[in-house]
Amino acid sequence: MFEPESAAAGQLSLAEALRTLRRASGLSGERLSDRTGISQSKISKIETGKLVPSIMDVERIVHALGVDRGYADELLTLARLGTVEYESGRVKSKLGWGKVQDRLAAIERSATEIRFVLPTMITGLLQTAEYASVAVNAPVGSPKSETVQREIVARKLARQRILYDTGKRFDFLFTEAALRWRLLPAPGMAIQLDKVVSLAALSSVSVRVIPLSMTMADTPLEVFVAYDDRLVRIETSTSGLALRDPGDIAFYRAQFDYFSSKALGGEEAREFIRGIAEDFRGEAG
């Protein structure tokens, strides 16, 4: 796995290497385009570092340029470095947990369509302050000070303003298990679910739920978020992965479409969530 800082450096090194190799070969961007089937504009963006090439793109380019196998393998390693970024908890702590939330907000601002698959819990954009406070204070792992916890919660709640941007589309796909996971006592869970239902009424927001009674042919093994067709972020308990390879992105978007096709949506989903909230209220009463 690679740190994000190394991935950014690798992307720049790869762009420079491919540009240098093409010039040394005497090929113009147009001729390289003819040989690879990659558009000239895309080659230009790859060589200037404006576009992260897929591993297949790099394979086609180095083959067309006649690069020897040893150096080609080095460039393919850089390509993998550029399409998968690893961010450990240590890196997040070094950066500052509040700034991690700011980085998420920046990614959300840059995207038009954001799709969430949430098999285990409610995501930060929909959390109440009480739910968020518990979520950032997990009993396993490095403890965070009360000051850091408050900062993370404040930044999470601030990020929620973007849900009111009618120029964007937010699709949240939950399993029923995620909505029933008791991160709070029953009264707090009921309030949390009320908030999900309320936000689901926004024109920019869609909430779908896969009931436990639904028979499925696949399993959502991880929390992931797809930003347009350019980035997928996968969350684990200790780290995160950012995937930019077009094949990876296509796979996760197809997974979202499959899970979504099996889920309740619209008013049916909101009514289902209200029912879970009432179950929690019944326990509290």
Residue 9 confidence class, pLDDT cut points 50, 70, 90 = very low
User: Between helices 4-25 and 55-64, what is the axis angle to 10°?
Assistant: 20
Q: Which of 27-41, 170-184, 229-243 has the lowest mean pLDDT?
A: 229-243
> Which of the listed residues 62, 85, 108 is the one where a domain comes to its end?
85
| CA distance linking residue 4 with residue 87, whole number of Å | 6
CATH code: domain of residue 151: 3.30.870.10
| CA distance linking residue 219 with residue 45, whole number of Å | 37
| CA distance linking residue 120 with residue 109, whole number of Å | 25
Same domain for 55 and 160: no
What local confidence, expressed as pLDDT, does residue 107 receive?
84
Distances (CA, A) of 23 to 11, 16, 18, 19, 29: 19, 11, 9, 6, 9
Strand order in the sheet with 113-118: 84-88, 239-243, 231-235, 223-227, 113-118, 169-175, 205-210
- Count Cβ atoms within 10 A of the Cβ of residue 196 and give its class: 0-12 exposed, 13-18 middle, 19 or more buried: buried
Residue whose entry in the numeric block shows the structure tokens 């916890």: 149
CATH code: domain of residue 36: 1.10.260.40
Q: 21 is in which domain, residue-wise?
A: 4-85
| pLDDT per position as a tens digit, 111-165 | 999 999 999 999 999 999 999 999 988 887 777 788 888 998 999 999 999 999 9
Same domain for 253 and 233: yes
Residue whose entry in the numeric block shows the structure tokens 């969430």: 116
> Is 273 contained in some domain?
yes
Same domain for 102 and 11: no
Tell me the residue length of the chain: 285
CA 248 to chain centroid, in Å, comes to 12
Residue 199 token pair? 């936000």
| CA distance linking residue 46 with residue 34, whole number of Å | 16
Considering the chain, what is the average pLDDT of its residues? 88
Number of H helices, E strands in the chain: 13, 7
Give the number of domains in the chain.
Answer: 2
Same domain for 220 and 128: yes
> Is 73 contained in some domain?
yes
Helix (H) / strand (E) containing 77: helix 69-83
Q: Within 13 Å of residue 42, how many CA atoms lie on the same side as its CB?
A: 13
What local confidence, expressed as pLDDT, does residue 105 receive?
86
**Average confidence (pLDDT) over 102-107:** 83
> Which of the listed residues 41, 65, 85 is the one where a domain comes to its end?
85
Q: Tell me the DSSP string of 100-132.
A: HHHHHHHHHHH-SEEEEEESSS--GGG--HHHH
> Is 270 contained in some domain?
yes
